[in-house]
Amino acid sequence: MTTVDPHAPVISIRERYRDMVSDRWLGIIAPQPDELLSSWLHRLAYANGVAPRAFARVLGLNPGMWSAALDLRLPADVANLLSANTGIAHNQLAAMTLSHDLPRELLLPLRNNGPQWSSTWLQFCSRCLAEDAQPYFRRRWRLATRLSCIEHGCRLRDRCPSCLGCIAVFDQAELVPQHYCVACGYDLRRAPVPYLSPTARTLDRCIDNFCSLEATAHASFGPLLIRRLLSMPSAAGGYYSTMMLTSLSTSARTYCAEHLSRPSEWPVDDENDRKARRLWHLVPPTSDHCAWIELLANALGRKGGLPGASEVKKPGKKIPYLLGAYARMSPGPGCRLPPELIET
């Protein structure tokens, strides 16, 4: 771990701090693919010898979750300051915020404390961090619907496995890279990967595939899908059934996804199974986002069911049918969506 000596380096940091505010900043950091603005800001601060908590003052901001708040809204004066001192264009800065292409309703709330079952503001993939030349946090790790890493397929974490603390780099007072836990110093790159079943991973990817802001905004069933995603704990049933998806930890949301997609609920050797299998080839191609948004919204609902499976009323039994179709879908043009499949 790179740390500054707790005594003399304080003077060093202050001198470098003056350099930063008096002239162009020395450390210029290029944004990484899908990097979250706060992640880039923390790396920028570190590259210039300023701890993240002190860097808030460089930007004229109050302490607390200052960088996480900038992810949601980047004021023009802060953007001007950053652009002038780093050479990073305004559109590059805006691209790191959460103001576009992700449904805001599905973002995890800005919370960095609470009981173990509750959500925190940011998740991470330890394998991604371990493979990064400069470890950074991705924008999509802010989504409550995201449980696994697209790159590695492994389940995300939202807490340090050593102290169970949340990601709180904005509050880091030491000159330490952001992949070390602020509370205990644990290297998050070493965090073990929690288990995630293949079916829950398929559900995760299916949702991620169709839940861009653009897709949900243009699909007539987009708002319904958003509402039903937020109500996934209710559809899953069990301990978290009265909670909103965004209020739950990654572990609790995984519990819901596992219940909705568990293989034991897949139909086997009965008439419904045979009818469902016959319909799989009728499901539209994944390029037809509007049709899939409609399918997902209905599968997560409480009414209706697949044709020939009238007794399959519970959402937890409809999702596996859809995931079966999703997993078996062959590329290429699909068929028209049968009206039975879009029944509400």
Which residue ranges make up the site for Zn ion (CB under 5 A)?
Answer: 125, 127-128, 149, 151-152, 160, 162-163, 165, 181, 183-184, 186
Classify 179 as helix, strand or coil: coil
Q: CA–CA separation, 244 vs 158, rounded Å?
A: 17
CB of 136 to Zn ion, least distance (A): 12
Nearer to Zn ion, 13 or 193 (CB): 193
Nearer to Zn ion, 128 or 215 (CB): 128
Taking the alpha carbons of 131, 132, 136, 141 in that order, is the dihedral positive or negative? negative
Inter-residue contact 285 to 329 (CB < 8 Å): yes
CB of 139 to Zn ion, least distance (A): 14
CB of 163 to Zn ion, least distance (A): 3
CB of 125 to Zn ion, least distance (A): 3
Which token pair is 217? 């905004």
CB of 255 to Zn ion, least distance (A): 21
Which token pair is 315? 């959402």
Nearer to Zn ion, 155 or 228 (CB): 155
Q: CA–CA separation, 74 vs 206, rounded Å?
A: 31
Nearer to Zn ion, 25 or 137 (CB): 137
Which token pair is 93? 């800065």
Q: Can you say whether residue 101 is alpha, beta or left, with left for phi > 0 and alpha for psi between -120 and 50 degrees?
A: left
Among 214, 228, 245, 237, CA closest to 297: 228
Nearer to Zn ion, 43 or 228 (CB): 43
Q: Apex CA 237: angle with CA 201 and CA 314, to 5°?
A: 85
Nearer to Zn ion, 149 or 309 (CB): 149
